[in-house]
Amino acid sequence: MLKTPVLVVNYKIYDVSYGHKALELTKVLERIADETGIEIAAAVTLPDIRLIAPKTKIAVLSQHADAIEFGSHTGFTPLENLKDAGAVGTLINHSEHRLRLAEIEFLVEKCRKLGMVSIVCTNNVATSCAAAALEPDFVAVEPPELIGGDIAVSTAKPEVISGTVEKVKRVSSRVKVLCGAGVKTGKDVSKAIELGSEGILLASGIVKAKDWERATRDIVSGMLK
Amino acid sequence: MLKTPVLVVNYKIYDVSYGHKALELTKVLERIADETGIEIAAAVTLPDIRLIAPKTKIAVLSQHADAIEFGSHTGFTPLENLKDAGAVGTLINHSEHRLRLAEIEFLVEKCRKLGMVSIVCTNNVATSCAAAALEPDFVAVEPPELIGGDIAVSTAKPEVISGTVEKVKRVSSRVKVLCGAGVKTGKDVSKAIELGSEGILLASGIVKAKDWERATRDIVSGMLK
Amino acid sequence: MLKTPVLVVNYKIYDVSYGHKALELTKVLERIADETGIEIAAAVTLPDIRLIAPKTKIAVLSQHADAIEFGSHTGFTPLENLKDAGAVGTLINHSEHRLRLAEIEFLVEKCRKLGMVSIVCTNNVATSCAAAALEPDFVAVEPPELIGGDIAVSTAKPEVISGTVEKVKRVSSRVKVLCGAGVKTGKDVSKAIELGSEGILLASGIVKAKDWERATRDIVSGMLK
Amino acid sequence: MLKTPVLVVNYKIYDVSYGHKALELTKVLERIADETGIEIAAAVTLPDIRLIAPKTKIAVLSQHADAIEFGSHTGFTPLENLKDAGAVGTLINHSEHRLRLAEIEFLVEKCRKLGMVSIVCTNNVATSCAAAALEPDFVAVEPPELIGGDIAVSTAKPEVISGTVEKVKRVSSRVKVLCGAGVKTGKDVSKAIELGSEGILLASGIVKAKDWERATRDIVSGMLK
């Protein structure tokens, strides 16, 4: 299980975030995790799990898993294969890879059985509560108020975060909430955590930064007491 | 809103359940609804809504709606178009047409705004609770124990139904539960209702019956006190 | 079968192009078809086929069909249902509703059996040739050079159209090519036809025009000798 | 490029065909390829490419690739990532993972640019010709006559194979045809090759065999002169 507060870095699939560059980025994250004691996890592409997992101490997650059992499913990947490759968990239902409700439930349940970490991404309060009813380890919320605009966590109305956390916890107190949007600086991070988030899901803010180390240190600074 | 207990008949798309045959079937359902006072709703194909809705007093539902607003969506159908055609509501996330969580949420919310009835289909207790968190009018549950086998509601363990109803109501007491599997006879219907269901979602049991009237009367008998 | 040159108007699903407004638009198109002798076809939403087909003499097409036979396919629509509703053919694989290769083949073949018109939309020369190998009635090409920009048929290099037509005809001389992008005025239309197109597939240029009649007359003027 | 005749083994995702077992199977295939001089390629799961490719001399293929460029595509995998991981090519449009026509075209074109082998799977003569129009390296045909039944290549009408090969070659003489169904024994293989196939795509016949070596040797025997 991931220790909180946690920083989950989604590598997506940029030309700067796969293959040996993904490994370099992971080494940066690992160093900062080591120094600060903050848990950092790397969500990498499916073919890169076996490149990175054996060479790092930080948690490696898959960016996706298919809701299948073993069988005739050419080109699809079940959780067992991801676990064998070195992933300790997976993102589920990312906004760029939405899944059917029955698939999300299947994956959350199977992560539980396999001892893998499940992080279900959601797009508003209602879907966050629905996801929470499935009892994944984490719900990573991207509040619509914080997407693609100038509003960050530290400038938004506090209720955008605290309200979601509260409603999710009412559905299931065991589910932890990650803030998946509106985080640009360490200040946003500390605000998000103050408002009840137990971590951050971040992608381009770190992955596409000119200076990975600097960007990550800034974000992680918001998690240090 | 549909009065409960309600019988929702899903016409699917058999050669005996579209076009003028769908209209004939609807006339049978209408007659029985009239005589018994039981609410019966017909979930018909998208092109058949305008054929049937103007010619019947029973509620016509769509079998599906797309999670879109007006725009450049060639071949997709938003709720507004279905409402204009005469549908008073829609099935959402049927097991033969699973939707993404964000789409289900979109459709439930928009049904609410448009005053349309939302019936979200689910496949087990966990997905039923997740759907209930979205507060649709109905959740139509197909318990895995009752699918494709010999076990019907009246022979299954009572908890299969009562347990689901109870858990759904705990998430949202306003959501009504339909029993969507394991119903073959009026006896199953009365048992399902005794155990907390507020209606039945049924397809081939009626639509593919040799004698529509007889099959429907048997099912409806289980709803009469 | 549609007489060529043909103007196919894709209504998409704008607030100005469904229900009674779709009927009004169809009446405008019908009047112009009547007066000019040019074939005009209307591709409408699935629920609107039964509203419009019985009330017009122009050809009504579906915007989409599902690659299924009769059966347990809740919320999907086979060609038989569309034909029964009044559609004489269908768009297949529109850029807003891409289909799998096997589905396109299924639909083209079934249109043939049912005597329905098949119009397969494609996005470049290679996919146009692939579609032509399936021998639909029409391939409606949206050349990448003509999409979303300022370049229209009359200002583009002639080869963009003539080259595609030639290559499609080499695969199957029976397949007719519609120009599906880059048409803004009657001048573009006459150029497209001069370069080998046998018609035009157009949407917002007509449907979202302030004056439907004027916009349509301009387009059709390019088809008159 | 793969030398012909070629045997492509699709590992799918059985409990006996991923992780270290996939590596074991590959070692068996490698040994037979070495001894016989016949080209054998292994189509493995996405996470297993990096496990297997560095440890074998035989060609490793991906079972699937997503039709995307680098970017914000969480959980999807572009060809560049697969190539970096060690795949020399990919299956495209497998019957268990059908793709849209535009995606198939995108992938075939990009394989060409990246120097990767493209194998497009198809389900009948018409879709094989459509695929051939895209000029992939291989079209792997699963003739409907040979699927899931008792009819194998050696007992089927010769035209089932020879007719497809002939029609594909007429569309593009450069495209090679693999036989993707109806192959159970070496006899089927030699017949398929006699009728114009330039290789075999096979899955469970080898992967689920009790004795991998024996099953593979039998198949490969049909490729030896």
Nearest CA in chain B to C77: B45
Which of A93, A109, A135 lies closest to B101 in CB terms?
Answer: A93
pLDDT band at A147; cut points 50, 70, 90: confident
Distance between CA atoms of residues C188 and C185, nearest Å? 5
Decide if D14 and A97 are in contact by the 8 Å CB cutoff.
Answer: no
Domains held by chain A: number? 1
* Residue (of D199, D204, D183) closest to D17 by Cα position: D204
Contacting residues of B for A102, CB less than 8 Å apart? 98, 122-123, 127
B/C interface, count of CB pairs below 8 Å: 135
D1 interfaces chain A, CB cutoff of 8 Å? no
A/B interface, count of CB pairs below 8 Å: 75
B96 interfaces chain C, CB cutoff of 8 Å? yes
According to DSSP H, which parts of chain B are helical? Answer: 19-36, 49-52, 79-85, 101-114, 125-132, 159-171, 186-194, 204-207, 212-221
* Residue (of A94, A86, A138, A141) closest to A117 by Cα position: A138
Distance between CA atoms of residues A204 and A206, nearest Å? 5
Contacting residues of B for C62, CB less than 8 Å apart? 75
Measured over the CA atoms of residue B22, residue B25, residue B30 and residue B33, the dihedral's sign is negative
- Whether the Cβ atoms of residue A17 and residue A207 lie closer than 8 Å to each other: yes
Nearest CA in chain C to B51: C50
D185's CB contacts (< 8 A; 6+ apart) are D152, D154, D218, D219, D222
CA distance D168 to chain A (A): 24
What DSSP designation does D74 have? T
CA A46 to chain centre: 15
Give kind and range of the element (H or E) at residue D184. none
Walk along chain C (225 residues) and give the pLDDT tens digit of each residue: 899 999 999 999 999 999 999 999 999 999 999 999 999 999 999 999 999 999 999 999 999 999 999 999 999 999 999 999 999 999 999 999 999 999 999 999 999 999 999 999 999 999 999 999 999 999 999 888 887 777 899 888 888 899 999 999 999 999 999 999 999 999 999 999 999 999 999 999 999 999 999 999 999 999 997
A99 interfaces chain B, CB cutoff of 8 Å? yes
Contacting residues of C for B77, CB less than 8 Å apart? 13, 45-47
What the block records as the tokens of A218 is 């800034």
* Residue (of C71, C86, C79, C48) closest to B11 by Cα position: C71
pLDDT the model gives residue C209: 96
pLDDT the model gives residue A158: 87
Question: In the Cβ-directed half-sphere of C31, how many Cα atoms lie within 13 Å?
Answer: 11
Buried/exposed A113-143: b ≥16 CB within 10 Å, e otherwise? eeebbbbbbbbbbbbbbbbbbbbbbbbbbbb
Q: Is C142 a catalytic residue?
A: yes
Nearest CA in chain D to C131: D130
Say if residue B172's pLDDT is above 80.
yes
Residue B140, SS3?
strand
Q: Is A142 a catalytic residue?
A: yes
Which of A102, A131, A171 lies closest to B123 in CB terms?
Answer: A102
Decide if D81 and A47 are in contact by the 8 Å CB cutoff.
Answer: yes
Q: Which residues of B are catalytic, by number?
A: 94, 142
Distance between CA atoms of residues D104 and D66, nearest Å? 9
Contacting residues of C for D118, CB less than 8 Å apart? none
- DSSP assignment of B158-208 equals THHHHHHHHHHHHH-TT-EEEE-SS--SHHHHHHHHHTT--EEEESHHHHT
Decide if B124 and A105 are in contact by the 8 Å CB cutoff.
Answer: yes
Nearest CA in chain D to C134: D126
Q: What are phi and psi of C15, to 5 degrees?
A: -65, -15
D84 interfaces chain A, CB cutoff of 8 Å? yes
CA A184 to chain centre: 15
**Bridge partners (DSSP) listed for residue A199:** A6
B101 interfaces chain A, CB cutoff of 8 Å? yes
What the block records as the tokens of D160 is 């089932």
- Whether the Cβ atoms of residue A143 and residue A124 lie closer than 8 Å to each other: yes
Distance between CA atoms of residues D61 and D113, nearest Å? 17
Distance between CA atoms of residues D188 and B147, nearest Å? 40
CA distance C99 to chain D (A): 5
Q: pLDDT for A74-85, tens place per residue?
A: 999 999 999 999
Contacting residues of C for D103, CB less than 8 Å apart? 98
Say if residue B103's pLDDT is above 80.
yes
Say if residue A225's pLDDT is above 80.
no
Mutation to test the B interface, candidates C9, C73, C103, most B Cβ within 10 Å: C73
What the block records as the tokens of A118 is 């499940």
Q: Would D1 be classed as within a structural domain?
A: no
Compute CA distances D153 → D162, D189, D215, whole Å: 11, 8, 17
**Other CB atoms closer than 10 Å to residue B159's CB: what's the count?**
12
pLDDT the model gives residue D150: 79
Q: Would C10 be classed as within a structural domain?
A: yes
Nearest CA in chain A to D49: A47
**Other CB atoms closer than 10 Å to residue A15's CB: what's the count?**
12
In this prediction the pTM is 0.96
Tell me, what amino acid is at A13?
A: I
- Rounded to 10 deg, the angle between the C212-221 and C19-36 helix axes is 40
A147 interfaces chain B, CB cutoff of 8 Å? no
**Bridge partners (DSSP) listed for residue C74:** none
Walk along chain D (225 residues) and give the pLDDT tens digit of each residue: 899 999 999 999 999 999 999 999 999 999 999 999 999 999 999 999 999 999 999 999 999 999 999 999 999 999 999 999 999 999 999 999 999 999 999 999 999 999 999 999 999 999 999 999 999 999 999 888 887 777 899 888 888 899 999 999 999 999 999 999 999 999 999 999 999 999 999 999 999 999 999 999 999 999 997
Decide if C99 and D98 are in contact by the 8 Å CB cutoff.
Answer: no
Q: Would B18 be classed as within a structural domain?
A: yes
**Other CB atoms closer than 10 Å to residue A180's CB: what's the count?**
30
Decide if D74 and A84 are in contact by the 8 Å CB cutoff.
Answer: no
Q: Taking residues A4-22, what's their average pLDDT?
A: 98
**Other CB atoms closer than 10 Å to residue B24's CB: what's the count?**
13
Q: pLDDT for A91-124, tens place per residue?
A: 999 999 999 999 999 999 999 999 999 999 999 9
Please identify which of the residues C39, C64, C105, C142 carries the catalytic annotation: C142
- The neighbours of chain A, by the rule of 3 or more Cβ pairs under 8 Å, are B, D
pLDDT the model gives residue A154: 87
B residues 117-146 near C, CB within 8 Å?
A: none
Q: pLDDT for B36-85, tens place per residue?
A: 999 999 999 999 999 999 999 999 999 999 999 999 999 999 999 999 99
Q: Would D100 be classed as within a structural domain?
A: yes
**Other CB atoms closer than 10 Å to residue D108's CB: what's the count?**
23
Which of C49, C75, C96 lies closest to B74 in CB terms?
Answer: C96
Q: Would C106 be classed as within a structural domain?
A: yes
B12 interfaces chain C, CB cutoff of 8 Å? yes
- Rounded to 10 deg, the angle between the D212-221 and D19-36 helix axes is 40
Distance between CA atoms of residues B210 and D208, nearest Å? 44
What the block records as the tokens of B213 is 């009237």
- DSSP assignment of chain C equals ---SSEEEEE-TB-TTSSHHHHHHHHHHHHHHHHHH--EEEEEE-GGGHHHHGGG-SSEEEES---S--SBS-TT---HHHHHHHT-SEEEES-TTS--BHHHHHHHHHHHHHHT-EEEEEESSHHHHHHHHTT--SEEEE--GGGSSSS--TTTS-THHHHHHHHHHHHH-TT-EEEE-SS--SHHHHHHHHHTT--EEEESHHHHT-S-HHHHHHHHHHTT--
Q: Would B1 be classed as within a structural domain?
A: no
Say if residue B160's pLDDT is above 90.
no
Distance in angstroms between the alpha carbons of the first and the last residue of chain A: 22
Tell me, what amino acid is at C101?
A: L
Tell me, what amino acid is at C215?
A: A
**Other CB atoms closer than 10 Å to residue B148's CB: what's the count?**
9
Distance between CA atoms of residues C95 and D101, nearest Å? 11
- Whether the Cβ atoms of residue A137 and residue A116 lie closer than 8 Å to each other: no
Please give the angle made by the CA atoms of B99, B102 and B106, to the nearest 5 degrees.
95
Range of the domain at D214: 6-221
Q: Percentage of chain B with pLDDT > 70?
A: 99
What DSSP designation does B128 have? H
Q: Taking residues B188-198, what's their average pLDDT?
A: 96
What DSSP designation does A155 have? T
D113's CB contacts (< 8 A; 6+ apart) are none
- Rounded to 10 deg, the angle between the D186-194 and D212-221 helix axes is 30
Tell me, what amino acid is at C152?
A: A
ipTM of the complex, rounded to two decimals: 0.96
Distance between CA atoms of residues D40 and D37, nearest Å? 9
Which of B98, B124, B135 lies closest to A100 in CB terms?
Answer: B98
What DSSP designation does D145 have? G
Q: pLDDT for C169-211, tens place per residue?
A: 999 999 999 999 999 999 999 999 999 999 999 999 999 999 9
Say if residue A87's pLDDT is above 80.
yes
Chains B and A physically touch (3 or more Cβ atom pairs below 8 Å)? yes
Indicate which CATH number applies to the domain containing B147.
Answer: 3.20.20.70
Q: Would D110 be classed as within a structural domain?
A: yes
Which of A100, A104, A126 lies closest to B134 in CB terms?
Answer: A126
Q: Would D214 be classed as within a structural domain?
A: yes
